Structure 1
Amino acid sequence: MKYALVHEWLTPKATGGSELVVREILRHIDADLYALIDFESVNPQSYLYGRKIGTTFLQHFPLARNGVQKYLPLLPLAIEQLDLRQYDVILSSSHAVAKGVLVNPDQLHICYCHTPMRYAWDLTFDYLNASRLGRGLPGTFIRYILHRVRQWDVIAANRVDYFIANSYHTARRIWRCYRRQAKVIYPPVNCDRFSFQAQKEDFYLTVSRLVSYKKVSLIVEAFNQLGYPLVIIGDGPELRRIRQIAKPNIQILGAQPNEVVEQYMANAKAFVYAACEDFGIAPVEAQACGTPVIAYGEGGALETVLDIRQFPETGTGLLFSPQIPEALVKAVETFCQFQGQINPESCRTRAANFSPKIFETSYLAFIEDCCQNFPSKDSDKNCDFFR
């Protein structure tokens, strides 16, 4: 059978968990790759260098290289222009519109959903409040656009035959937004990339894109009160504000190469995470180093971090709630009391549950099962399937 794999965008700046899933799928399935835009196939440092990738008209738009989110009203139209009629199976890796490709009734479409479109659903008001365009007459226009995008998004979800979610948290959001069930298959985390380090140094660490919903400013406010040493690695629109409010005990390194991140991950006393993520790869990477995690107790962290207070034998960190600086301050103080009880080996063992090998086995088995159960146009199973 012929496979096509559809992703939102491929650029040097897009290197998150969804791109890791795309890379892992291509290692095991011979699929032609499509995206709204592609600037990775001309990047000599990319695993996609020299690969033929199908794109849309957005490829030629001004500033597309820096991301096409600015063209949000055009994204549904663009993804529907991809002609995939020659393929038997469509695999989409979607956190926005990739699942909205047009398919024929006899084509099988399986979507690995990283999240329903954040800015159209859960984070609508966060984005509106953070943007100057979210107010007044422009704000009314943007709200209308988001309303129409949500309508399209529900229609697009009906073009998917089977959903895969990257966590149970995401599966619940898929059900809430689309009323569709999803098989949970955790994304691959390359634990072997990180060296195990049992002895830790006296500093806390967070690694994140510096955008509002990551709540790095919350971490800064908490450590301003605690006075404990904190290292922040990452770049983004909130960098300037974070530098302004951070006290001398907080070291802000900005963006750093992978080897520097890995070194800090391995040596940190604890990794601090305040965002509500759909999965959250960074806390798993920290545990791969034997580093405990202090995380906000919502979203994917509930599935990846074992609170030492609930799991005294196998605990890998500590969860806090609500999502406010005072709760994090209390959590760090509590962590100091339990720190000696968290075994670095337990952290490493926990991270191994999200290895690429486990992803490969689960994903390929699910694809095979879907192919066997999806009726072909000549199959008698059509009668039962569509009844």
Structure 2
Amino acid sequence: ETLHICYMHTPMRYAWDDCQKYTSDFYFPRLIKKVVPFFMNYIRLWDKVSADRPDKIIANSNFVSRRIKKYYQRESEIIHPPVNLEKFYSGKKQEDYFLMVGRLIAYKRFDIGIKAFNKLGLKLKIIGRGPDLAKLKKIAGPNIEFLGRVSDEKLAKNYAQCRAFIFPQEEDFGIVAIEAMASGRPLIAYKGGDIVEHMEDGKSGIFFEKQNKEDIINAIKKFEKMQFDSDYIRKSVLKFDKSFFKAKIKEYIEKELEKHKKKLKNFKGIFF
């Protein structure tokens, strides 16, 4: 019998969370969007059966581990995904702009970031592509710059030189937020998802409570009066480097194989 280990990034969002919220992200005809919720019971059943198949589950964050327990009634090991921290660095000098990065889809909440910066008149750069690009451009003022997809070098430079990173979404882990912190930049982040485990309010950024433009505006005004230590912020996320991930995943698999090897045929070990 083969040992089946699943590394899970998240339970199916549009099946288990707010179905209407997530299906609105897809560009299907309106009739199909109305029909989809009726099939969700079958999708959830199929997903639950699939989630029961692995012998062990690894969750990519504490937040996902709790969702696995809630929806699948299963325990999971927590091993955070790797971040290539070598690509990112603290800038010696910041320029006068804020930054958002990610796929341009509804649940990432670029819309409230844009509305907040329209009101403030501060410069905001947005890196990424997605189906909401045209919609977001329509509501963006002249102080909002869309850079599209950029090279790794340009991404690292934009992280390093921004004043702060705007993170208004609820994420299962939030790699872009970790990349920004690896660049020594403070976050202005929604207090939800796994980022609450990794960002210290007042030390590596500022949390806001509600996903609306007013809360972002208030957080930015608070940010303007504060100072942050770039070295402290970067050091706080070094634990996510890919070398740590490799060591942890190897240790976990070898431990589980050791428990399971009596059931395995032709066991020859594991190599990285």
TM-score where L is the length of structure 1 = 0.65
1:321 corresponds to which of 200, 203, 209: 209
2:257 corresponds to which of 361, 364, 371: 371
2:74 is aligned with 1:191: no
- Equivalent position amino acid for 1:373 in 2: K
SS at structure 1 position matched to 2:263: coil
Native 8 Å contact 1:128 1:134 kept in 2: no
Matches within 5 A, 1:299-338: 299-308=193-202, 315-338=203-226
Matches within 5 A, 1:178-327: 178-308=72-202, 315-327=203-215
Note the C-alpha offset of 1:160.
Answer: 1.0
Native 8 Å contact 2:13 2:22 kept in 1: no
Native 8 Å contact 2:25 2:105 kept in 1: no
Native 8 Å contact 1:272 1:295 kept in 2: yes
2:26 is aligned with 1:154: no
Note the C-alpha offset of 1:375.
Answer: 5.7
SS at structure 2 position matched to 1:376: helix
Task: Point out where structure 2 has 5 or more consecutive residues left out of the alignment.
Answer: 266-272
Q: Report the Cα distance in structure 2 between the residues aligned to 1:286 and 1:265, rounded to whole angstroms.
A: 6
> Which residue of 2 is the match for residue 350 of structure 1?
236
Greater Rg by CA: 1
- Equivalent position amino acid for 1:361 in 2: A
CA RMSD, Structure 1 to Structure 2 (Å): 1.8
Q: Report the Cα distance in structure 2 between the residues aligned to 1:118 and 1:171, rounded to whole angstroms.
A: 14
Note the C-alpha offset of 1:376.
Answer: 3.1
> Which residue of 2 is the match for residue 122 of structure 1?
17
Q: Report the Cα distance in structure 1 between the residues aligned to 2:206 and 2:153, rounded to whole angstroms.
A: 26
Native 8 Å contact 1:128 1:135 kept in 2: no
Task: Point out where structure 1 has 5 or more consecutive residues left out of the alignment.
Answer: 1-105, 309-314, 380-387
- Equivalent position amino acid for 2:95 in 1: E
Note the C-alpha offset of 1:121.
Answer: 1.7
2:63 is aligned with 1:175: no
Note the C-alpha offset of 1:222.
Answer: 0.8
Number of paired residues?
A: 265
Matches within 5 A, 1:101-120: 106-120=1-15
Native 8 Å contact 2:20 2:37 kept in 1: no
> For each residue in 1:317-354, what CA deviation from the matched residue of structure 2 results, as whole angstroms up to 9, or x when unmatched?
1111111111111111111112x2x1000111012111
> For each residue in 1:114-173, what CA deviation from the matched residue of structure 2 results, as whole angstroms up to 9, or x when unmatched?
00112222242113344574754x345422333212101111111111111111000000
> For each residue in 1:90-118, what CA deviation from the matched residue of structure 2 results, as whole angstroms up to 9, or x when unmatched?
xxxxxxxxxxxxxxxx1101111000112
Note the C-alpha offset of 1:273.
Answer: 0.8
Native 8 Å contact 1:189 1:354 kept in 2: yes
Native 8 Å contact 2:16 2:44 kept in 1: yes
Note the C-alpha offset of 1:198.
Answer: 3.7
Q: Which has the higher contact order (CA 8 A, sep 6+)?
A: 2
- Equivalent position amino acid for 1:317 in 2: G
> Which residue of 2 is the match for residue 59 of structure 1?
none
Native 8 Å contact 1:113 1:166 kept in 2: yes
Native 8 Å contact 2:95 2:161 kept in 1: yes
Identical-residue share of aligned pairs (%): 36
Q: 1:377 to 1:256 in 2, by over 3 A?
A: closer
> Which residue of 1 is the match for residue 245 of structure 2?
359
